[in-house]
Amino acid sequence: MEALVQYLDGVRFEAAASGHVVISDQPTSNGGTNTGMSPPEFLLISLGTCAGYYAAEYLKTRSLSPNGLRVHVSAEKASGPARLASFRITVEVPNIEERHRQGVERAVRSCLVHNTLLNTPSIETVVRNLPMHLAA
């Protein structure tokens, strides 16, 4: 799995993965032009769409409709170091029995992004010089 992020201007970046492209920016209060989501918002979106995927798959495999399924993700900021310290995922599902509500909750907790955040991944950082013909 890979993504390529390239600087555009100001505090804007273009991010590409699997043939899809999105713009990341900062709000005007943080020196941006607000033409795209901020990196922390992308993290919330990633967690929410992953949770939604697992919830929808649970419902569909039990012949229950995922229509109306919604996921709301919020996070609290912390400092020292700056980070998102706590997340809350609220999954709204169509009217289903309690056993299926519990099943959706178990399914959401299986989400790849959810498990990644719960189990601290290793992150290697490498800084290298661009080849001269790309540095312009």
Q: So what's the pLDDT on residue 119?
A: 95
Q: Do 47 and 89 meet the contact criterion of CB atoms below 8 Å apart?
A: yes
Q: So what's the pLDDT on residue 136?
A: 59
Residue pLDDT tens, the chain, 136 long: 999 999 999 999 999 999 999 999 999 999 999 999 999 999 999 999 999 999 999 999 999 999 999 999 999 999 999 999 999 999 999 899 999 999 999 999 999 999 999 999 999 999 999 887 766 5
Report domain 38-120's class.
alpha beta
Alpha carbon distance 36, 34 (integer Å): 6
* Structural Rg of the chain based on CA atoms: 18
Domain boundaries, the chain: 1-37, 38-120
Q: Please count the other Cβ atoms lying within 10 Å of the Cβ belonging to residue 107.
A: 20
Which DSSP string do the residues of 26-86 spell out, in sequence order?
--GGGTS--SSB-HHHHHHHHHHHHHHHHHHHHHHHTT---TT-EEEEEEEEETTTTEEEE
Q: So what's the pLDDT on residue 130?
A: 86
